Amino acid sequence: MARAWHRDTYWPFVISFAGLLGLGLLFVFSASHYDPAHYEMRQIFWVAVALFFFAAGFLLGYRTFLGFSRLFYAAIILMLLYVLAVSKARLGAQRWIEIGPLALQPSEFAKLAVLLFLTDYLGGRPIFEKEHSTLLGAVMLTGIPMLLILKQPDLGTALVLVSMAIAMLFYWGLKYRYFIFSILGFCLTAPLIWAGLKDYQRNRIMVFLNPERDPLGAGYTAVQSKIAIGSGGLLGKGFLHGTQTQLKFVPEHHTDFIFCVFGEEMGFAGAAVLLLCYGVLFYSILRILEHTTDVKARLLAVGLLAMLFSQVFINIGMSFGLMPITGITLPLFSYGGSSLVSTALGLGMVLSIHKERSIF
Amino acid sequence: MMRLRIIRGVVFGGLAVLGLGLFRVQVLQGPMYRAMGEQNRIRLIPMEAFRGKVVDRAKRLLATNRVSYDVVATPEDVTPPVFPLLARLLEISESEIRKRMSAPREYPFAPALIKPDIPREKVFNLEEMKPDLPGVSIQISGIRYYPYHTTASHLIGYIGKISEREYAALPRDRYGMNSLLGRLGIEKIYDDSLRGWRGGRQIEVDAQGNFVRVLSEKKAQPGSDLTLTLDLDFQQKIEQMLVDKRASVVVLDLDSEGLLALASSPAFDPNIFVAPGHSQERLDILRDKSSPMLDRGTGSAYPPGSIFKLVTAMAALERGKITPETRLFCPGYYKLGKRVFHCWDADGHGSLNLYEAIERSCNAYFYQLGARLAPEDIAYYARQFGLGDVMRLEVTDMTPGLVPDRVWKEKHAHEAWYAGDTLSFAIGQSYLLTSPIQILRLSAIIAKNGQVVEPRLVLPDADSEESRPEKKRVAVSEANIKVIQKAMLNVVQSNKGTGQFARVNFDKMAAKTGTAQAPPLQAHSWMTGFFPYDKPRIAFVVFVEHGGPGGITAAKIVNDTIKLWNSIYGTGVA
């Protein structure tokens, strides 16, 4: 049994996965140890749940989950609709479904649902037949949950869905001209859409692109976040010794802005280690992908890679002003059960691909 | 695989970009950010927008802003000796100051409000002591001010502090932790346009918390001003007529459909809700038995009494039950089975046609119409004139009133509708309830020969005028409306009319009185109509709660109101 585990496991993958979870836990603690809500205790519980789902993904294998993909997708759409209905009734944005003490965030699971359904869908349709209708199906399949998530409004998760779908279509083999036409089409229609917007809508977009325009809201966070990370310097201020983030200059520092805490306390050296961990994880996913011949397995791996990479890039990028600020978690690192569990389940499935690898 | 290579390139290229970016921010620019961070040099000062003004039709200020000097303190910069000194200067306790400083704030280093609206000489005192008061400063803000105090207070309304729930749900660029929101009247309904957009400043301060420079600034955008149709002068003088009464007078300009005056007495001073202090006055107002917060013109419904005979008459004419010349006999009462319904004139009016029945407000005549009509018929015509429904007007807490029918009574009173109910209904009693503004609208529609009138307090912009719906008519023929107009003329101008006290010597008036029974107290006093009869320019309603006979109490106020109107808007005939 132990030998089988050893043989079926791709060790760099598991080590980087465990390393990220462990580091995440430490810094959720750092971000919230003075907070009476004690997110770190809850995060320990969620890490345990996530490990369970990781094992389930690995042991049951990705094929089992692909078989349920349609059902899962339908359930997620219903949950997203429910969330919208509730937030309309409460007159405020709401992204959670509360079940007893737990709060589920359906948009996190929606990423996984789209990934599975799109894998099953594209994997069952060869590129040389009916390229148009397949493309249309894929766009709709991604578009429906994306619109529901945009409506929440959760721009970050919607962006992740788009990057994931683009990466999968690209890898599936969609002709280059489709991508070129899409980009051209977007560039051409953008001015028209812009002209049709109301003043306040334009203002929102301008602030989104350039937070300095709004020193009260996003701009404030952007500057404070940059100060926190920059003041970490090369070696950081030491674990639990961050001043900016601990003083709550940066909001949401146990979730979306966890990297601020990390960057301030561990400095550039720590940040480089963290990037290396993600690099190893991404490299492992690519290696696993190269050793399988199953089209669906490959699509699944590419989709998950795109999902994780876009989150890492947007999250870390926004914390030092490279990307605009949107609410998005740092995978395996930020506080949050839904994000942790869905990411771990996805990674478990990818690792199960490794079991069936062809040796060459 | 070419495509896989591209994906690999994007992923590792992206990670490299992140690494390089972090190297720049943390290593190359690290010392700069560290300096900024250690001294917490960047502070955020939100700036509230000035609220738009509310003016009357002649641009006289009804709601404006005055300057308020507020003492604020940045708790992080305050040293212990400040507390006793500040407490002495402001005459508040040290513990109160501490409490204020630990109240939730929107941003770290945001100044906490210690005492708003201090007198000017205190400002000088404080400025002199500045070296001994680190962290304390004076901020200038706008405080809402209603220069005419009780005048039109129900309509203008007031503003109040945002609640925690509202703050959480509303957008940050318009609502801050200390923002004020419209709570009543125009202030509430037009809150969105009166409120501007907040601004803010990111400033850099030195280690002592002194201002160094502005890093970025977004100017606050003041809210838009709003013009009401009211005439302040007219409104004020009408309110003076109503002092010590529980009453309402509403006057509508028929051409623009704008309300010239909408007075309700007693009134309250909205300033006590916006200026600091005054909590005792607020409690007094809320507990006052005469309900000064209630707008008697729009927010409360009463039986209309005989005024409703106008509606019953139109129902009978339209349904073909009578012609204007149909004569019915009034012996002073009307018998329905064993029950006797009395006319107000026990001697009886004798034989009357419709004109005479309205002129003298004969109950027996209208009992006989009630006997010929189904309650649904009367209710149908009442609803044609907007009774029983909330009016589309820029006023908060409007009442729909109540137009009863069989279905309503069975559902709410759990009792069948009796024939006697229809008789009471026909003379405006029973379950029927109307607000003065609804009665005003009834008169306005009659004055405009049946064209639907939508009274307004705010005139629409010139460019949105075309989007207004087409002029609708009520389902009463013009010929029948003319009959009612003529009967209303007789009410005032005939020597047997019930409304003679309202008569003026410079032009003819058409109106109808109402004396609505409200046992055990005195009856409610009503009168409504339009003026002048030939070319109507205004419609009006006067209502006095428990004021006694409409032909006396209300008619005298109508007389005063029309004279007043004529002195301002009239052709100078008087």
Confidence of residue B383 (pLDDT cuts 50, 70, 90): very high
pLDDT at res. B243: 92
Residue range B427-450: average pLDDT?
A: 95
pLDDT in tens, B283-302: 888 888 888 999 999 999 99
pLDDT in tens, B92-116: 888 888 888 888 777 667 788 888 8
pLDDT in tens, B202-214: 777 665 566 777 7
Tell whether the model's pLDDT for residue B490 goes beyond 80.
Answer: yes
DSSP state letter for B25 = I
Confidence of residue B91 (pLDDT cuts 50, 70, 90): confident
What is the layout of strands, in order, in the sheet containing B510-516?
B258-265, B247-253, B538-544, B524-531, B510-516
Least confident of A76-80, A254-258, B380-384: A254-258
Q: Which percentage of chain A shows pLDDT scores above 90?
A: 44
In this structure, the answer to whether residues B326 and B223 fall within a common structural domain is no
CATH of the domain at B58: 3.90.1310.10
First to last CA, chain B: 100
The Cα-based distances of B144 to A51, B227, B280 in angstroms read 59, 17, 19
In this structure, the answer to whether residues B197 and B252 fall within a common structural domain is no
Q: Where are the alpha helices (DSSP H) in chain A?
A: 2-8, 11-32, 39-60, 62-67, 69-90, 106-123, 131-150, 155-172, 176-196, 199-209, 218-230, 258-290, 295-319, 337-355
- Give the C-alpha separation, B529 to B508, whole Å: 11
Q: Higher pLDDT residue, A215 or A287?
A: A287
pLDDT at res. A34: 67
pLDDT at res. B468: 57
In this structure, the answer to whether residues B379 and B476 fall within a common structural domain is yes
Chain A residue with Cα closest to B34: A231
Q: Which percentage of chain A shows pLDDT scores above 70?
A: 84
pLDDT in tens, A251-271: 667 778 889 889 989 999 999
Confidence of residue B511 (pLDDT cuts 50, 70, 90): very high
Domain ranges of chain A: 2-355
Task: Answer yes or no: is B506 within a domain.
Answer: yes
Task: Answer yes or no: is B471 within a domain.
Answer: yes
Touching A: B residues 218-277, CB under 8 Å: 218
In this structure, the answer to whether residues B146 and B249 fall within a common structural domain is no
pLDDT at res. A205: 67
Last residue in a domain, options B227, B257, B282: B227
Structure tokens at B406: 């069989």
One-letter amino acid at A254 equals H
Touching A: B residues 188-227, CB under 8 Å: 198-202, 215-218
Total of domains in chain B: 2
Residue range B441-464: average pLDDT?
A: 87
Least confident of B40-44, B175-179, B423-427: B40-44
Q: What is the pTM of this model?
A: 0.64
Residue range B59-85: average pLDDT?
A: 87
Contacts of B19 in chain A (CB under 8 A): 271-272, 275
Q: Are B521 and B546 in contact (CB under 8 A)?
A: yes
Nearest to B18 among A216, A286, A317 (CB): A317
DSSP state letter for B396 = S
In this structure, the answer to whether residues B208 and B239 fall within a common structural domain is no
Nearest to A230 among B14, B15, B26 (CB): B26
Task: Answer yes or no: is B302 within a domain.
Answer: yes
Structure tokens at B270: 């909205």
In this structure, the answer to whether residues B191 and B314 fall within a common structural domain is no
- Record: contact B216-A275, CB cut-off 8 A: no
Task: Answer yes or no: is B518 within a domain.
Answer: yes
Exposure string for B135-167, b = 16+ CB within 10 A, e = fewer: bbbeeebbbbbbebebbbbbbbbbbbebeeeeb
Tell whether the model's pLDDT for residue B41 goes beyond 70.
Answer: no
Touching A: B residues 361-390, CB under 8 Å: none
- Record: contact B19-A275, CB cut-off 8 A: yes
In this structure, the answer to whether residues B432 and B377 fall within a common structural domain is yes
Q: Are B113 and B178 in contact (CB under 8 A)?
A: yes
CA B443, B444, B445 angle in degrees (round to 5)? 90
The domain of B108 spans 43-81+92-227
H helix or E strand, kind and range, residue B281: helix B279-287
- Record: contact B32-A312, CB cut-off 8 A: no
Task: Answer yes or no: is B373 within a domain.
Answer: yes
Residue-averaged pLDDT of chain B:
89
pLDDT at res. B574: 43
Please provide residue B421's backbone torsions phi and psi, each rounded to the nearest 5 degrees: -60, -40
Task: Answer yes or no: is B418 within a domain.
Answer: yes
Q: Higher pLDDT residue, A199 or B64?
A: B64
Residue range B112-125: average pLDDT?
A: 87
Chain B residue with Cα closest to A305: B11
Residue range B3-29: average pLDDT?
A: 93
Last residue in a domain, options B201, B227, B253: B227
In this structure, the answer to whether residues B477 and B352 fall within a common structural domain is yes
In this structure, the answer to whether residues B427 and B539 fall within a common structural domain is yes
pLDDT at res. A208: 60
pLDDT at res. A360: 47
In this structure, the answer to whether residues B204 and B317 fall within a common structural domain is no
Tell whether the model's pLDDT for residue A216 goes beyond 80.
Answer: no
pLDDT in tens, A290-348: 888 889 999 999 999 999 999 999 999 988 888 877 778 999 999 888 999 999 999 99
* Cβ contacts of A164 within 8 Å, gap of 6 or more: A111, A114, A115, A118, A142, A303, A306, A307, A310
Whole-complex ipTM: 0.90
Strands B226-227 and B54-55: parallel
A275 touching B (Cβ < 8 Å): yes
Confidence of residue A287 (pLDDT cuts 50, 70, 90): very high
- Give the C-alpha separation, A276 to A16, whole Å: 9
- Record: contact A215-B172, CB cut-off 8 A: no
Exposure string for B70-103, b = 16+ CB within 10 A, e = fewer: bbbbbbebbeeebbeebbebbebeeeebeebbee
Tell whether the model's pLDDT for residue B437 goes beyond 70.
Answer: yes
Task: Answer yes or no: is B210 within a domain.
Answer: yes
Task: Answer yes or no: is B151 within a domain.
Answer: yes
Residue range A69-85: average pLDDT?
A: 92
Q: Which percentage of chain B shows pLDDT scores above 90?
A: 61
In this structure, the answer to whether residues B319 and B204 fall within a common structural domain is no
Tell whether the model's pLDDT for residue A65 goes beyond 60.
Answer: yes
Number of helical H runs and strand E runs in chain B: 21, 19
Nearest to A216 among B8, B37, B198 (CB): B198
pLDDT at res. B102: 81
In this structure, the answer to whether residues B120 and B159 fall within a common structural domain is yes
Last residue in a domain, options B167, B202, B227: B227
